[in-house]
Chain A
Amino acid sequence: MNHAKRIVVVGATSAIAEHCCRLWVEREPVDLILVARNRLHAERIAVDLRVRTRQGTVRVETVDFLSTPEVAALADRLSAEAPLDVVLIAQGMLPPQDLCQEDLAKVRETIDVNAVASALFAEAFAKGMAQVGRGTLGLLGSVAGDRPRRANYTYGASKAFMEAYATGPRHRFAGTAIKVVLIKPGPTDTPMAAAHKAVGRRLASVEEVARGTVRALDLGKAVVYLPWKWWPIMTVFKLLPRFVFNRLDV
């Protein structure tokens, strides 16, 4: 018998994650587990997803993202219930860079949420996947991690960490049925990027980025830029000599 896919979404209140969930529940019967810090907020998303799904289930788990015992216990429990098909790690915060420069606590918080918590969840769920020999581990990175720049380098560096970290399990599970996918969206029309929108920057729609994310996870691609145009742009951007880069107002 074909079982419903089991999908865990960490940081489920992120807009991209929520839209991925919509695509999943509308496409097929899934057992979806939303992992969040804020239960109230996550429950509101779960209510919507339960209306959208016809056969699947949606439940919410709350956890302190930086508590190593809590993260480990949750991942062990979920992995032990039944094998997980997809784990998407999507939480993130993007504080204004000048705030980080003023307040070191913001630097700490950004790196904790974006980088440290991602590594904890990735490692905790990788353990369960290793035991059953399959699964797809998705991490939501960012083009900002390709070459951190003055406009948002705390955020960029934390996302760069995710990319570096992802290469590890990808290497470890090479040749197995475990895939590690790094998704790198460009600026996307989400509440996190509201400041970009306010100044009139063109943003990708969250639906488009979610569609690309779900497709990349389906295919188990190693790294994907969304929309794809960011791949050539960032390739050039990364190769710019430092003396050119340092003169750019980006």
Chain B
Amino acid sequence: MRPVSSWGRLSAAPHTVVELVDVAEIASRVRGEGPAIARGHGRSYGDSCLNPGGTLWSTAKLDRLHAFDPATGRLVCESGVLLRDIQRLMAPRGWGLPVLPGTQLVSVGGAIANDVHGKNHHKAGTFGDHVRRLRLVRTDGEIVDCGPDQRADWFAATVGGIGLTGIVATAELQLCPMAGPWLDTEIVPYQSLDAFLTLADESEASWEHTVGWLDSTRRGEVRGLFLRARPAEDQSGVPPPVRSFSVPVTLPIGLFNRLSIPAFNALYYAVHQRRAGRRRRAFDSFLFPLDGIGDWNRLYGPRGFYQYQFVVPRPVARAALQEVLDIVAASGQGSFLSVAKTFGERVGRGLLSFPMPGVTLSLDFANQGAPTEALFERLDTVVRHAGGRLYLAKDARMSSAMFEAGYPNGAELRRFRDPGVSSAMSRRLLGS
């Protein structure tokens, strides 16, 4: 037993960690163990990758590549492979992953299980849209090979299925041609939610990546920075290596509090306002700004932090976002990383895929115990009333009622669940 946390560092309960090292041996290693849950690199924020007091099957060492066809861009690999490693190996061959979340340091299995999305959702959909096939190993030893055109019901249950249908052993991914390591980017400051939505809408056609940062600490008015990017026309030159450092220790008190967050937000806005306009930037530094800071979650201090990410349908999005931002500003528990994005019309393939046509907003909050939970309860009411839902990859605390309201297909997942698989999240939201 050793303490294991998820990315939010809200808990560090003891777990028995079983490392899977060979895809051919998964079935024999997991049979009769459990209930347990597969865990990749532990980058989900909440409790979907935790099983306090129980077992975790670590897939981090299932990191071999099985096949790559340079003509078609199809890659077959094991579930523990990091997206970063696929990018690193395939970029020189002119291929890349069509969907990348805000960090590359997640595994293929995690990207499937959470059906992750990126800043190009309006163009590329979710990660699951590019999975051609996957192999699922069940704890009774059964092997389920599935894909969009083969046992599609199993595929829909597993993509976005937060690991509950079994253990993803391997996946075949359709990569996309990559122009090169550079993006043409533009930063556009905006001063209202309407301006954000207008920018997002008008950018969708000609910009591949769009996202808005906003200052959530100001009452009344909203201001922020709209970031958009597309493959650069000029791909000459090699980007400088990403400078990286790690936060060496967990800070005794979090860096982000009532006083510092408004200051950080104001500073961030001021600095980037001056950088407004177009410039060419390296793909990695634009899409993964935090990957250069190892263990940045330690900045939130020993009590950890929550990321509250929701999506609300487009017709009510403006009003719901305003209400959420008003509640957050009034609470005094501002967020530093507040990021909004409009999703395209594509609905995720998974029963529990998060994206829906609408607007998503994610907010980080240091864990302050009861006041933070009280804030979330109020935000839940807004999201639920608007017909929205919370992102399971980020969630550590929503109620099962909130889950059922946001994920009407949740009940259908039960048919596909592996009885030998259970996580803290599945017990909280699905009762087992």
Please give the residue numbers on chain A whose beta carbons come within 8 Å of chain B beta carbons, in ascending order: 26, 41, 44-45, 47-48, 51-52, 54, 191, 194, 197-200
- In the assembled complex, which residues on chain A have CB atoms less than 8 Å from the CB atom of B89? 26, 51-52
Chain A binding site: helix, strand, loop or mixed by DSSP? helix
Please give the residue numbers on chain B whose beta carbons come within 8 Å of chain A beta carbons, in ascending order: 2-3, 16-17, 19, 21-22, 24, 61, 64-68, 75, 88-89, 92-93
- Complex contact A54–B66 (CB within 8 A): no
A191-B21 in contact given A26-B89, A54-B93, A200-B2 (Cβ < 8 Å): yes
Q: How far is the CB of A235 from chain B (nearest CB, A)?
A: 25
A51-B66 in contact given A26-B89, A194-B19 (Cβ < 8 Å): yes
A52-B65 in contact given A191-B19, A194-B19 (Cβ < 8 Å): yes
Q: Considering only CB atoms, which chain A residue lies closest to B70 in the complex?
A: A54
Q: Which 3 A-B pairs have the closest CB atoms?
A: A48-B64, A51-B65, A200-B2
- In the assembled complex, which residues on chain A have CB atoms less than 8 Å from the CB atom of B22? 41, 44
- Complex contact B21–A54 (CB within 8 A): no
Greatest chain B CB density within 10 A among A26, A51, A52 is at A51
CA gap between A200 and B3 in the complex, in Å = 8
Contacting residue for B68 out of A51, A191, A200, CB 8 A = A51
CA gap between A199 and B17 in the complex, in Å = 10
- Complex contact B19–A47 (CB within 8 A): no
CA gap between A200 and B89 in the complex, in Å = 32
- In the assembled complex, which residues on chain B have CB atoms less than 8 Å from the CB atom of A47? 64-67
A-B contacts besides A197-B2, A197-B19, 10 pairs, CB < 8 Å:
A44-B64, A47-B64, A51-B65, A51-B89, A52-B89, A191-B21, A197-B17, A198-B16, A199-B2, A200-B3
- Complex contact A54–B92 (CB within 8 A): yes
CA gap between A48 and B65 in the complex, in Å = 5
- In the assembled complex, which residues on chain B have CB atoms less than 8 Å from the CB atom of A44? 22, 24, 64
Q: Considering only CB atoms, which chain A residue lies closest to B23 in the complex?
A: A44
Contacting residue for A51 out of B2, B61, B67, B92, CB 8 A = B67
27 contacts between A and B (CB under 8 A): A44-B22, A45-B64, A47-B64, A47-B66, A48-B64, A48-B65, A48-B66, A51-B65, A51-B66, A51-B67, A51-B75, A51-B89, A52-B65, A52-B89, A54-B92, A54-B93, A191-B19, A191-B21, A191-B61, A194-B19, A197-B2, A197-B17, A198-B2, A198-B17, A199-B2, A200-B2, A200-B3
- In the assembled complex, which residues on chain A have CB atoms less than 8 Å from the CB atom of B68? 51
CA gap between A22 and B330 in the complex, in Å = 53
- In the assembled complex, which residues on chain B have CB atoms less than 8 Å from the CB atom of A48? 64-66
